[in-house]
Amino acid sequence: MSEFTPQTVQPERKPTPGTVNTAAYIQFAIFALALLGLIFGLMYSQDAIDAAVASLKDQGAKQDLIDAYEQSGSFSSIGQIVGLVLAAVYAVLGIFNRRGVNGARITTWVLSGVFLLCGAATFALSGVGGGTTDGVDMDKVTTAMSDAVPAWYNAFGMVSGIVQILGYLVVIVLLALPASGEFFRKAPPQLILPGDEVK
């Protein structure tokens, strides 16, 4: 008489709920916005910097201030590239979220919270500035930069920033809903005994 050795099998993966799919699509959309932001930034940011430098020179600004603005273009490009890389990581997490990887969900929560705070801080500080620095009217510099780029470029930056902030918040909520929690909960392996059918 042959002996039967019990076996264990992993249950089939649960279907991805709409809450997780929606969160992942938002993550993909945020990456797309970051990519567009990088492309537009490479197209127009130097024009804005050139306009700022011209305004500073017209107002007789000190050379160190002018140099700082001239060098800001390189730092801006680096910042945009880093932002794109982080957005790509965020999008990849969306892929793993759809596969039910709980570690990806936790990482998404952490990054969403960090990005949300950074985005909110950026908007809060965007209204700070202006006034006079070493006899230079910084409002004129800001106006010169805005006038040097298409109106839609500034509008895109504003709308994109708001959409991304809201997106991070929605992703956090969607991945915390009960339907998402059940999907990410790992089911125990099934023990197969004589006469059992694998489900």
Q: Are strands 7-9 and 132-133 parallel, antiparallel or unpaired?
A: unpaired
The predicted structure's pLDDT at residue 175? 96
The predicted structure's pLDDT at residue 5? 58
Q: Percent of the chain, pLDDT > 70?
A: 82
Tens digit of each residue's pLDDT (9 = 90 or more) over 130-178: 566 666 777 888 888 888 889 898 899 899 999 999 999 999 999 999 9
Tens digit of each residue's pLDDT (9 = 90 or more) over 108-133: 999 999 999 998 888 877 765 556 66
**Averaged confidence pLDDT in the chain:** 83
For the chain, domain boundaries: 20-192
Consecutive H or E run containing 198: none
Tens digit of each residue's pLDDT (9 = 90 or more) over 62-103: 888 778 877 877 777 788 888 889 999 999 999 999 999 999
- DSSP per-residue string spanning 117-175: HHHHHHHHHHT---SEETTEEHHHHHHHHHHTS-HHHHHHHHHHHHHHHHHHHHHHHHH
Consecutive H or E run containing 55: helix 18-58
Query: What is the rounded CA–CA span in Å between residue 42 and residue 66?
Result: 21
